[in-house]
Amino acid sequence: MTMKGPSCKQVIAPMNNELGKRFIKDSVSHITNLNCALKIIKSSVCADFLYADNKGVIIPTNNVASNSDLQEIEKYIFKPVTITSHFPDFLNQSPTSKS
């Protein structure tokens, strides 16, 4: 479950410490995918970065997250495999090298 954090501009995703550390290892990819998911639902919220805390994974945002934003974040964090099917094909392509 996700919830608004103390600053109201962060989302806390409760999870155990080991799972949180594994999730953080690929944080750049997670932030990119999460921001794409939020953009798809036309949200004004943008995730800045991720970090692990004893509470779980904390995601500071640029604005206060609405309930629909929290649902999309929760859907991404706890079901990351299903969310990737919503992204355009250009996100999954590798960059081409110039000759």
Interval 47-93: pLDDT, tens: 888 888 887 888 888 888 888 888 888 888 877 544 444 444 444 45
In a domain, 54, yes or no: yes
Question: Which pLDDT belongs to residue 40?
Answer: 92
Residue 13 backbone phi and psi in degrees, to 5: -110, 100
Residue 91 domain flag: no
Q: Residue 19 falls within a domain, yes or no?
A: yes
- For residue 67, is it within any domain? yes
Task: Give how far Cα 12 sits from Cα of 5, 16, 27, 96, 99, Å.
Answer: 6, 12, 15, 37, 45
Q: Is residue 99 part of a domain?
A: no
Reported pTM: 0.66
Whether 49 maps to a domain, the answer reads: yes
Domain membership flag for residue 61: yes
Which has more confidence, 5 or 14?
Answer: 14
For the chain, how many structural domains are there in total?
1
Which range (1-10, 13-22, 34-43) has the least confidence? 1-10
Structural domain harbouring 47? 3-86
Burial of 27-40, coded b for 16+ CB within 10 Å and e otherwise, reads beebbebbbbbbee
Q: For residue 27, is it left (φ>0), alpha (ψ between -120 and 50) or beta?
A: alpha
Query: What band does 17 get if pLDDT is binned at 50, 70 and 90?
Result: confident
